[in-house]
Structure 1
């Protein structure tokens, strides 16, 4: 792992980024999105929505965040706040889809939604590449990634207890691990989704 440059500026805290984003400072919103995109996508992914609904829930979460960021009481707990917003967006989508679901559909009218053989092969290849990239992480980041992404709703207090890490270091450690994963996957030619 590369040591941080001692001359490099310290990244702003989440609280500072929230304040800057509320004040419409350039780059603050982009940095918040970069730090928390993976969390939002993981929360939404735990609801196993269809692809279009997944994209809508992620987008709606960020829209609500943009609209209501000024209402966050504890900016250092932005991850928990975004988790709640993402859950509510997923539940709203699920409720809406239940209301819109056709009721009397003949069995022969149903279309099979199974992925085709190409999609299955590509998904398995991507899964293997990610699993291999995770095994190349240093021990603590690898364990943190495993704990965070093997649990549908990771609780930082529980993760802190399990890993012996201060709560405040979980997010930055996670971010560095994901950046290392992105670089490793890019080296082997895998498309990388921002997280």
Structure 2
């Protein structure tokens, strides 16, 4: 395991590293992804969970938001506890896709990644500093807890995916403005869920 691997700093770099994974027995598992990204890849894992949740063709599948909620909850709690390496249960690490599916998804995201990466840079450091990271972790825990009920409110999981993607990108690029955007989306999503269930 490549525990010392440095985490990617941009979405483009993340996609490049995902495409390098060959997998084992014809599948790429979450364990393989962590080996490639490093065991401190809190931001990238939040981003991946956000992308999976946000893409309608995947996030709209019953049960997917709940599985992603479990992943986010585990990652966010460990971020809150300031752990230096991510621990995930074996049943989650063994979740897998085919290399072809992973490469196709990466290719589809390549152009948006270039546009998005051009907008991200280090700024508003206070919003991604040590204290702010704790607030981000707490917010991600809240988003994760909201995700199972989102299966009852059409398209609401897209808001959660957008918020998680924003937090992931903010942590990766040290971009406080992106963190602020993600906080705003989280609040808007919570309001939409309450309105949808009432």
TM-score > 0.5, shorter chain as reference: no
State TM-score, norm by structure 1.
0.27
Where relative contact order (Cα < 8 A, 6+ residues apart) is larger, the structure is 2
State TM-score, norm by structure 2.
0.27
**Which structure is larger by alpha-carbon Rg, 1 or 2?**
1
